[in-house]
Each structure stands twice: as C-alpha cells, then as structure tokens.
C-alpha cells in the first residue's frame, strides 16, 4: 500500500483520536498537551463536543483566565447537546 493511500485511509480516524489522547493528557496532568490535542480535534471537526469539554477542563486546570471571557461563545456548539430536552 502506498503511503498516500494509507494516509487517506487513516484521515477519518484522526478526528476521534485527538479527544481520546487529550483525555490521557488530562489524567496525566499534561494540560497544555490536552489543549493542543483538543484544538486540533476542533480544527478537524468544529462540533466535537468531547474536544470542547476536555479543552475547557484543561483550561480550567491551567487557570487560563483569558479563556473564560470567551467561554460563552467558545462553548456555543456544545449548548444544544447538553441542554435538557424541552417538555411541551
């Protein structure tokens, strides 16, 4: 198998792997690495809820204050997923 075709086969797997590796970084308290992996996951899939959540956890652990003012807009894609269902 040529490296180009191997790369094409592996490309769809990259997105889900970054949040998983970020979780490992969080457990190991490697917060900067977790932020990098989550940011890369979000670059590949801007609606990856796990990447948003884990990046927020890493920012919180790093006590990054600059993140919190943008949190309402930075977490907007997550809100519909986390919101409880409406009863009507």
Cα separations (Å) of 35 from 31, 70, 78?
Answer: 6, 15, 17
pLDDT at 86 over 90: no
pLDDT at 18 over 80: yes
59 in any annotated domain? yes
Write the CATH number for 67. Answer: 1.25.40.10
**Which is higher by pLDDT, 7 or 72?**
7
88 in any annotated domain? no
1 in any annotated domain? no
The total number of structural domains that make up the chain: 1
**Which is higher by pLDDT, 9 or 32?**
32
- 44 in Cβ contact with 14 (< 8 Å): yes
Domain that holds residue 38: 8-82
Residue 34 banded pLDDT, cuts 50, 70, 90: very high
Give Rg (Cα) of the chain. 15
Packing angle between helix 31-44 and helix 3-27, nearest 10 degrees? 140
DSSP state of 1: -
87 in any annotated domain? no
């Amino acid at each position: 198998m040529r490296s180009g075709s191997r790369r094409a086969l592996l490309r769809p797997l990259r997105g889900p792997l970054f949040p998983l590796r970020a979780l490992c970084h969080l457990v190991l308290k490697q917060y900067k690495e977790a932020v990098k992996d989550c940011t890369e996951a979000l670059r590949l899939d801007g609606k990856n809820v796990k990447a948003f959540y884990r990046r927020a956890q890493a920012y919180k652990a790093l006590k990054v204050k600059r993140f919190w003012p943008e949190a309402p807009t930075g977490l907007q894609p997550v809100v519909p997923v986390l919101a409880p269902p409406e009863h009507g």
